[in-house]
Amino acid sequence: MVRMSGNARESGRSTTSRVLALLAAFSRRRPELTLTELAALSGLPPATTHRLAAELLDWGALERAADGRFQVGLRLWEIGALTPAHRELRSAAIPFMEDLYEATHENVQLAVRDGLEVLFVDKISGDSSVVTLTDVGGRAPLHATAVGKIILAFSEPELFAEVAGRELPRSTPHTITLPSVLAQALRAARRDQVAYSLEERSLGASSVAAPVRQADGTLVAALSVVARSSKNVRGLAFAVRTAALGLSRRLAGQGSA
């Protein structure tokens, strides 16, 4: 039998990108993967997947579940927790989020921008409150959420231009899909220091958000409360603003301790 194997590597792809492709294969939808799934999702041959995954396993970036499936390892979580959004912002935010939760007993969320999306960094949810679509680590569009509008309203105008330049995907009949209407909502947000999403992301859920700023006044995050649309979310606006201002003052008052 002739050994006709050898090297048929896919050109133009770095080893680093292969490793990152393995990590990127995991998602909220699919947090546990078999080797074959991992290979398919990362676009790598099974043999390569196996070898690289073994190295990640060895280091602790990945782990194997009881049934042998791959899952994200604690070591990776530990390092991920060093990101500024988690380390500085989240720890400072927790007390204010608790206060907000105790006062309203509704879902309280903390979000930052990543790319052209909102990324939820933390969340406190009561058992009685609305079921929100997105969990911690989840993403949502900027234009359809209250936190997203706050981010758009208080970031550089280039961000709005970028978002408005693309299509504004519709989530519900109430989603804003016209750039001009969105621009008007952002003006109102700048004026009132709060933004709303009234069933624009999912029917039966509305939210109010307020800006969180760091010492120099630039926006770092948005804090929001989600409630059933039947409730008067507008009545929660002052509570959210107050908590967001308190958190901003805390961030300004101390470096990161």
Partner DNA sequence: AGAGCCTCTTCCGCCGGGCGGAAGCCGATG
Partner DNA sequence: CATCGGCTTCCGCCCGGCGGAAGAGGCTCT
Enumerate residues 124-143 that contact a copy of itself by CB under 8 A. Answer: 124-127, 135-137
Instruction: Mark residues 175-204: x for contact with a copy of itself by CB under 8 A, - for none.
Output: ------------------------------
When CB distances are held under 5 to 8 angstroms depending on the partner's kind, the choice from a copy of itself, DNA, none that residue 98 binds is a copy of itself
Q: Residues touching DNA: how many (CB under 7 A)?
A: 30
Determine if 221 is a binding residue for a copy of itself (CB under 8 A): no
24 binds DNA (CB under 7 A): no
Q: Write out the binding residues for DNA, residues 32-61 only, by CB under 7 A.
A: 34-36, 44-48, 50-52, 54
Does residue number 67 form part of the binding site for DNA (CB under 7 A)?
no
Length of the chain: 257
Q: Is 65 in the site for a copy of itself (CB under 8 A)?
A: yes
By beta-carbon proximity to a copy of itself, the closer residue of 28 and 170 is 28
* Residue 41 interacts with a copy of itself (CB under 8 A): yes or no: no
* First and final C-alpha spacing in the chain: 67
Beta strands in 6-152 (DSSP E): 32-33, 62-64, 70-72, 107-114, 117-124, 139-141
Phi, psi of 62 (to 5 degrees): -125, 160
Nearest CA-CA partner of 145 in 191, 110, 115:
110
Judged by beta carbon, residue 56 or residue 210, the one nearer a copy of itself is: 56
In the region spanning residues 72 to 131, those forming contacts with DNA, defined by CB under 7 A, are none
Helices 46-59, 15-24: crossing angle, 10 deg rounding: 80
Minimum distance from residue 74 beta carbon to a copy of itself (Å): 5
Contact 180, 187 (CB under 8 A): no
Of 78 and 192, CB closest to a copy of itself:
78
Q: Minimum distance from CB of 116 to DNA (Å)?
A: 25
Where helices occur in 84-236 by DSSP H, the ranges are 84, 91-104, 146-154, 157-165, 179-192
Look at residues 147, 110, 104, 109 and name the one whose alpha carbon lies nearest to residue 128: 104
| C-beta closer to DNA: residue 21 or 94 | 21
Q: How far apart are CA 109 and CA 76, in angstroms?
A: 24
170: number of CA atoms within 13 Å, CB side?
Answer: 5
18, 52 Cβ separation under 8 angstroms: yes
Span near a copy of itself by CB under 8 A; candidates 1-9, 63-71, 153-161, 238-246: 63-71
**Binding stretches for a copy of itself (CB under 8 A):** 14-17, 19-20, 23-24, 26-28, 31, 52, 55-56, 59-61, 63, 65, 71-87, 91, 94-95, 98, 101-102, 112, 114, 119, 124-127, 135-137
